[in-house]
């Protein structure tokens, strides 16, 4: 994927008022208070140039994360009508998926309010109406809805319990034949998560590798 970045102006939204920003906040903070520093990024997906605005306080806001890039390259959308992008950030995965399934529907979820606003803006900027962005914790914003594919570059920094919750609650949100697609690298414990899936799901494949990352696809989920 080609990418280009340049500095821009920060949007004016009310989240910036109040106390001075802390020196460090994780990207998964619900209401980041880091000063805005927006960027423009672009990448090519299925022959289409996709444009994005990103901002400080979000995961990988200066460039597309290499794991995310590998995840998108290995995202098989064949037969997918409904897809969930869990932890969508500024929207790289979900926006690409919306392009890939023009007659399908993509639900994007993130806990980070700033990410949600930008993911919505990025859907608009790419003229995509077959996707929506919801704010909240993991599967909470989707209630009982089910999907053909759940895709995530999980928030590993939020801790193992959260990643295990993401994987163990996936079956409850998959349609029959549904798949879970994840990316991670060795230092994030991807082998541990691969083994965890292998012990529970019928089939776990490594669809892509590169730069220490691997893309895992799990199918044949255990009973919810
Ligand atoms: C590793 S980043 C991936 C972002 C984006 N998908 C990408 O690949 O660029 C993980 C994302 O999960 C979000 N996140 C963290 N905890 C979450 C939670 N409990 N529920 C939903 N999203 C969460 C973070 O805000 C972050 O945007």
Atom of ligand 1 nearest to the CA of 112: 25
61 in a structural domain: yes
159 in a structural domain: yes
Cα–Cα distance measured from residue 136 to residue 155, given in angstroms and rounded to the nearest whole number: 14
**Cβ atoms 59, 77 nearer than 8 A:** no
Which residues have any ligand 1 atom within 6 Å of their CB? 27-28, 59-60, 65, 68, 87-89, 92-93, 109-112, 115, 137-138, 153, 155, 158, 162
What is the total count of domains within the chain?
A: 1
* CATH code for the domain in which residue 40 is found: 3.40.50.150
**Cβ atoms 71, 61 nearer than 8 A:** no
**Cβ atoms 56, 34 nearer than 8 A:** yes
Give the closest residue (by CA) to ligand 1 atom 9. Answer: 89
Sign of CA dihedral 68, 73, 133, 217: negative
Cα–Cα distances in angstroms (integers) from residue 83 to residues 54, 61, 86, in the given order:
22, 23, 10
The CA 89 to ligand 1 mean position distance, Å, reads 5
Q: What pLDDT, on a 0 to 100 scale, did the predictor assign at position 31?
A: 76
175 in a structural domain: yes
Instruction: Kindly state the tokens that stand for 62.
Output: 């200066």
Q: Residue 96: pLDDT band by 50, 70, 90 thresholds?
A: very high
Residue pLDDT, tens place only, 54-95:
999 899 999 999 999 999 999 999 999 999 999 999 999 999
215 in a structural domain: yes
Mean pLDDT of the region 106-116? 97
User: Percentage helix, strand, coil, to 5, in the chain?
Assistant: 30, 30, 40
**Residue in the block written with tokens 């759940």:** 150
101 in a structural domain: yes
Containing structural domain, residue 161: 34-219
Cα–Cα distance measured from residue 64 to residue 54, given in angstroms and rounded to the nearest whole number: 10
For residue 51, how far is the Cα from the chain centroid?
A: 16
> Of 6-15, 24-33, 141-150, which range is least confident?
6-15
Q: Residue 2: pLDDT above 70?
A: no
16 in a structural domain: no
Atom of ligand 1 nearest to the CA of 156: 1
198 in a structural domain: yes
Q: Residue 10: pLDDT band by 50, 70, 90 thresholds?
A: very low
156 in a structural domain: yes
Give the closest residue (by CA) to ligand 1 atom 16. Answer: 28
């Amino acid at each position: 994927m080609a990418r280009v970045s340049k500095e821009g102006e920060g949007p004016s939204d009310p989240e910036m008022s109040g106390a001075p920003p802390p020196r460090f906040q994780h990207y998964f903070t619900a209401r980041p208070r880091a000063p805005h520093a927006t960027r423009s990024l672009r990448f090519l997906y299925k022959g289409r140039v996709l444009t994005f605005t990103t901002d400080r306080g979000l995961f990988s806001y200066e460039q597309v994360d290499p794991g995310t890039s590998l995840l998108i390259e290995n995202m098989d959308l064949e037969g997918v009508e409904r897809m969930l992008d869990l932890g969508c950030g500024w929207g790289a995965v979900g926006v690409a998926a919306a392009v890939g399934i023009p007659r399908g529907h993509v639900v994007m979820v993130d806990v980070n309010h700033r990410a949600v606003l930008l993911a919505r803006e990025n859907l608009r900027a790419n003229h995509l109406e077959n996707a929506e962005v919801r704010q909240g914790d993991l599967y909470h914003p989707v209630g009982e809805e089910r999907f053909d594919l759940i895709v995530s570059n999980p928030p590993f920094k939020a801790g193992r319990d959260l990643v295990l919750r993401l994987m163990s609650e996936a079956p409850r949100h998959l349609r029959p034949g549904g798949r879970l697609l994840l990316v991670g690298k060795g230092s994030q414990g991807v082998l541990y998560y691969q083994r965890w899936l292998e012990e529970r799901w019928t089939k776990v494949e490594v669809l892509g590798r590169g730069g220490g990352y691997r893309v895992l696809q799990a199918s044949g989920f255990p009973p919810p």
